[in-house]
Structure 1
Amino acid sequence: MKKRSIATMLLMSMAIVACGGAKVQTDNSNKTEAAGDAVKDEAASGKKAILVINGNLGDLGFFDSANRGMERLKNELGMDVKVVETGDDEAKWEPALADAADEPVDYVIAVSPSMVEPVQKLAPDYPEKKFILIDNVVDFQAANLSNVYCATFKQNEGSFLAGAAAGLSVEEGGTIGFIGGMDIPPINDFLVGYIEGAQSVNSGVKVISTYTGDYYDPAKGKEHAIVQFNQGVGVVFAAAGPAGLGSIEAATEQDKKIIGVDSDQSTAYENKGDKKTAEHIVTSMIKNVGDAIFRAIDKDLKGELKWGAAESLGIAEEGVGLAKNDIYNASFTDEQKAKIEEIQQEVVDGKIKVSSAIGMSTEELDKIRNAVKP
């Protein structure tokens, strides 16, 4: 095993944040496993998992969802868990992962597209440890990565539902907005699904799309949202990580509608006592990061997980979906909700095929974006 210094890791800390859940069709963050469904406690006894977050908890989205998965491992399986926050300093990410692998731990977990290179580099040095990467895939041909499991999400499918919700939220031919963190394929996968979903219920819909260029600065998310609302956008979908919290702030201040991302952000705000903000988040496109972590380790303890491989989790696998809570129920008519349910089932049944920006050429993507510009 290759040891690495922890001297550079001065700002990392361990934190646990508990976020409550609402009634959500595909968000199983607080689900209690049926008897015999989860692995017996004995199989998990003495097992330890460390989650390395290349950011901070409290984002009310992606990282908090991952943390809830760690809480499930602790509460439902009795595992020893630890969560390490590195902040947004990229220089700390790989050393943090190495330090985690140096501990007496069974599972080392990373949950970000940006963590693919550190996992790919370090995993071969620790063949006795199991590495789990959520939301990206290593190059399994580049090295001996037989101790790595990857899970990605069909965010285009979940975003198709978000787009349908947005399209139903404005008049025929109205304008909706999209704010991405970066102009890169994983973020544009949200955009493509969002556009197609909106068009499925509102054929003349227009879509303004912009990018903050930063996942960690809420001020930039707020600025982009204000500009879009001033351009006549009726509802914004922000897929920009913590920067998207600024977009939510803008929507609340201007009394506009917004669609959250990664977690049920309306419920998260309500649990913080901020009902005013919660009421402006009409739904959220949930990416069940925590459930993906729990699912992988539970399956491994049962001997059912395939290592050296990757899976893609969509609506059918409960990897993505919409938050359907009290705010959602109040924001859409019964007819609109029935339409969203119909669309969701058609995606699951394969009757609707959602395009993906992953592997899409720049020319194809520009054609989709330009076709819906106001």
Structure 2
Amino acid sequence: MKKRIALWVMCLAMGTVFYGCSAPEPEESTDTGAASEETAETERYEGNAEDYKAALLIPGSLGDKSFFDASYQAVGLLEEEYGMDVDYVECGTDASKYYPAYVDLCQGGYDLILTVSSNGDDALIQIAEEYPDQKFISLDGELDDIPSNVYIIAPKNNEMSYLAGAVAALKAQELGDKTIGFVGGMDIPGINEFLVGYIEGAQQIMPDIQVQSSYVGSFTDTAKGKENGLLLYNSGISVVFTAAGQSGIGVLDAAVQTGNYVIGVDSDQAEALKDSQPEMANVVITSAIKNIPENALHIVQKAMDGEVNYGKKEYYGLKEGAVGLAENEFYQKLMSEEDRQTISDLKEKVMNGEVELTETMGLSTEELSEIRDKVRP
């Protein structure tokens, strides 16, 4: 605990529910082509799990009730399941602080350093090259040029967003609407993966559905998120999917104010809010979830067993239990039994390969614009 506090204070000084699933295995090991030609040699950890030293660097801020909070839950799950003491550093949004934090961790004698998000990719590449014997795992990353001592878990965002789109369309259909909304944190490829999957899932239910999208320009601006949400709701849209991190809390606030609905992202947002802000929880139909804590539990075990494919990126989706939907009390209340069965059937089809989703990796700006413009109101 002292070390954890010291790391946290260090980062400040420099300027600064989850959805249960079985342990995931990647559908296939994917070499991006840009990855290092050689992977780092791995050895089985022969000590006790409680003596294994792991740390998590969070290149963002806790309290978003979404992505970074879900990432932090990995700390508690690893401690609970393996008895290990996992340190963490919360570094905020200033990217200049990530590299010094990595240096401090690399000098701390950790067997494994975990991180999340593409926010810290530049620092991760630099530190991995400077400390070639240190092992790193990103629990949710987009990096393509992967150092030989780094492993990337890449969740299939379009699969969980496909289900979110189907939920949105079913709810809109129930309400007599033909348009749904989307609020992204930024207009970047990683967020547009969510949008493309969302559009395709909605079209599965209602082929002529329209989707109005907007971007906050930040993952931490709740006021701007609320402004974006209000613009969509006041235009007559009743259901909005938000993939905007902490900015998405503003969209939830807008839904409460206007009496409409939201689909959350990354963690079970209704579950996270039901005690502190029940009025928000009550408007969250479901959440498209990345099972980051469970993924961390699985991959750390593989690291201890010497079975991680360092130097590569591997994709995890619905089939592996790495992403999904929150099927909580709010989902049960806000979606009819028939509609829930429709979603369950679609999930099975995705897992069985019966649904062909657009491959979002490498999607050009022009291709994305075409997809987005075709469904604009």
Shorter-chain TM-score above 0.5: yes
Q: How far 1:87 moved relative to its partner?
A: 1.2
Alignment gaps of 5+ in structure 1: 1-5, 15-19, 30-38
Q: How far 1:138 moved relative to its partner?
A: 3.6
Q: Report if the CA contact (8 A) 2:118-2:141 is conserved.
A: yes
C-alpha RMSD of the superposition: 2.4
Change in CA separation of 1:367 and 1:26 when aligned onto 2, cut-off 3 Å: farther
Which amino acid counterpart does residue 370 of structure 2 have in structure 1? Answer: K
* Corresponding position of 1:123: 128
Count of residue pairs the alignment pairs up:
349
1:44 to 35, 49, 53: 49
SS at match of 1:58: coil
* Corresponding position of 1:274: 277
Which amino acid counterpart does residue 160 of structure 1 have in structure 2? Answer: Y
* Corresponding position of 1:133: 138
**d(CA) in 1 for partners of 2:82, 2:127:** 27
Q: Report if the CA contact (8 A) 1:116-1:133 is conserved.
A: no
Q: List per-residue Cα deviations over 1:194-252 (Å, max 9, x = no partner).
A: 00000000122111000111111111111100000011111010101111111111111
Which amino acid counterpart does residue 155 of structure 1 have in structure 2? Answer: N
Q: How far 1:274 moved relative to its partner?
A: 2.3
SS at match of 1:360: coil
Which amino acid counterpart does residue 71 of structure 1 have in structure 2? Answer: G
Q: Report if the CA contact (8 A) 2:144-2:313 is conserved.
A: no
**d(CA) in 1 for partners of 2:344, 2:236:** 28
**d(CA) in 2 for partners of 1:188, 1:356:** 11
Q: How far 1:363 moved relative to its partner?
A: 2.0
Q: List per-residue Cα deviations over 1:2-54 (Å, max 9, x = no partner).
A: xxxx998444799xxxxx55xx464989xxxxxxxxx9995313211111111
Q: Report if the CA contact (8 A) 2:138-2:150 is conserved.
A: yes
* Corresponding position of 2:318: 315
Change in CA separation of 1:138 and 1:206 when aligned onto 2, cut-off 3 Å: closer
1:251 aligns with 2:255: yes
Q: Give matches, 1:78-97, under 5 Å.
A: 78-97=83-102
Change in CA separation of 1:245 and 1:91 when aligned onto 2, cut-off 3 Å: same
Change in CA separation of 1:68 and 1:9 when aligned onto 2, cut-off 3 Å: closer
**d(CA) in 2 for partners of 1:138, 1:184:** 14
Q: Report if the CA contact (8 A) 1:167-1:202 is conserved.
A: yes
The share of aligned pairs that are identical, in percent, is 40
**d(CA) in 2 for partners of 1:225, 1:192:** 19
Q: How far 1:366 moved relative to its partner?
A: 1.4
* Corresponding position of 1:348: 351
1:65 aligns with 2:67: no
Which of the pair has the greater relative contact order for Cα pairs under 8 Å at 6+ separation? 2
**d(CA) in 1 for partners of 2:118, 2:193:** 13
2:374 to 348, 371, 374: 371
* Corresponding position of 2:161: 159
* Corresponding position of 2:331: 328
Which amino acid counterpart does residue 196 of structure 1 have in structure 2? Answer: E
Which amino acid counterpart does residue 246 of structure 1 have in structure 2? Answer: G
Which amino acid counterpart does residue 252 of structure 2 have in structure 1? Answer: I
**d(CA) in 1 for partners of 2:190, 2:220:** 17
**d(CA) in 2 for partners of 1:160, 1:43:** 41
Change in CA separation of 1:107 and 1:283 when aligned onto 2, cut-off 3 Å: same
* Corresponding position of 2:206: 202
Which amino acid counterpart does residue 186 of structure 1 have in structure 2? Answer: G
Q: How far 1:128 moved relative to its partner?
A: 2.5
2:81 to 57, 71, 76: 76
Q: How far 1:158 moved relative to its partner?
A: 0.4
**d(CA) in 2 for partners of 1:319, 1:10:** 32
SS at match of 1:45: helix
Q: Report if the CA contact (8 A) 2:172-2:179 is conserved.
A: yes
Q: List per-residue Cα deviations over 1:165-206 (Å, max 9, x = no partner).
A: 000011266111000111111110000000000000012211
Which amino acid counterpart does residue 290 of structure 1 have in structure 2? Answer: P
2:240 to 228, 236, 239: 236
Change in CA separation of 1:87 and 1:57 when aligned onto 2, cut-off 3 Å: same
Q: Give matches, 1:213-232, under 5 Å.
A: 213-232=217-236
Change in CA separation of 1:45 and 1:9 when aligned onto 2, cut-off 3 Å: closer
TM-score (norm 1): 0.88
Alignment gaps of 5+ in structure 2: 1-7, 25-43
1:289 aligns with 2:282: no
TM-score (norm 2): 0.87
Q: List per-residue Cα deviations over 1:115-147 (Å, max 9, x = no partner).
A: 221111111222222111132244446xxx222
**d(CA) in 1 for partners of 2:259, 2:168:** 16
SS at match of 1:328: helix
